Amino acid sequence: MKNYYAWEIHDKYARYWTKESIESPEEFDELFDIAEKYFLPTINPNDLKVWNPPIIKEEMEKGRPLRQGDSHSSWMGGCIVSQNMVDKIGNILKKYGELFPFEVEDREDKLYRYWVTNEISFSKVDKKKSKFFDNNYSDNNVFKIEKLVFLEDAETNDMIFRITEEYEKTIFVTSEFIDIVKDNNLKGFNFILDSSYDSKDKIVKI
């Protein structure tokens, strides 16, 4: 049986966009509206083709970005990744999703919004062996998968994917992808095998 991990951010490396890092509440609201537009499950793929987000302001501390690393944010099927990550493993990311650049104020390199387009049907999930938040699921709908196990004949070799019917749009990855992240010295990740309350599985922190 293969292991599949949820791709989450590492708090130490997470990048937050706060009102304190934006010049005005109105500007923050505009940024939030755009983030909402491009991250929610109801995203229109055609909108991404004409996506023109504003320049992002980073939260700073002592003249440098407060948060460091290559994985800055994770939100419903998408995340923010660094130029460094795109340069090193962009070919893998593009195989399973699409990358859209953000311009960042006072920074030469870009950040990228990564939207995972590779989806696998919930019908291939082993409902008896998997775990679900609040045990909340039906045959064709699930709120959040806390531990993912596929049916024996439905195992996948895809390194990055989502489950189509999952509301939370968790990004799942394989052990192979985690090894690639480690080999390329990328930072800022939590890869979680089991996020249920009673789980004793360790989180892979990179």
Highest mean pLDDT among 3-7, 63-67, 69-73, 173-177: 173-177
- Give CA separation, 146 vs 98, 126, 158, 164, in Å: 25, 13, 19, 15
Q: What pLDDT digit, counting tens, does each position of 105-141 carry?
A: 766 777 888 889 999 999 999 999 999 988 888 878 8
Q: How far is 182 from 199, CA to CA, in rounded Å?
A: 24
Q: What is the pLDDT of residue 76?
A: 59
Residue 13, pLDDT above cutoff 70: no
Q: What pLDDT digit, counting tens, does each position of 188-206 carry?
A: 888 889 887 666 666 777 7
Residue 152, pLDDT above cutoff 80: yes
Q: How far is 66 from 14, CA to CA, in rounded Å?
A: 9
**Is 3:175 a contact under the CB 8 Å cutoff?**
yes
Lowest average pLDDT, out of 72-76, 124-128, 181-185, goes to 72-76
**Which among 49, 52, 68 is positioned nearest to 107, based on CA atoms?**
68
Q: What is the pLDDT of residue 49?
A: 56
Domains of the chain: which residue ranges? 4-119+168-205
**Is 138:123 a contact under the CB 8 Å cutoff?**
no
Q: What pLDDT digit, counting tens, does each position of 18-29 carry?
A: 344 445 545 545
What are the residues whose beta carbons fall under 8 Å from the beta carbon of 90, sequence distance 6 or more? 99
Q: How far is 146 from 8, CA to CA, in rounded Å?
A: 12
pTM given for the model = 0.79
Q: How far is 189 from 192, CA to CA, in rounded Å?
A: 10
Q: What is the pLDDT of residue 111?
A: 80
Q: How far is 14 from 194, CA to CA, in rounded Å?
A: 21
Which tokens in the block code for residue 145?
A: 């998968």
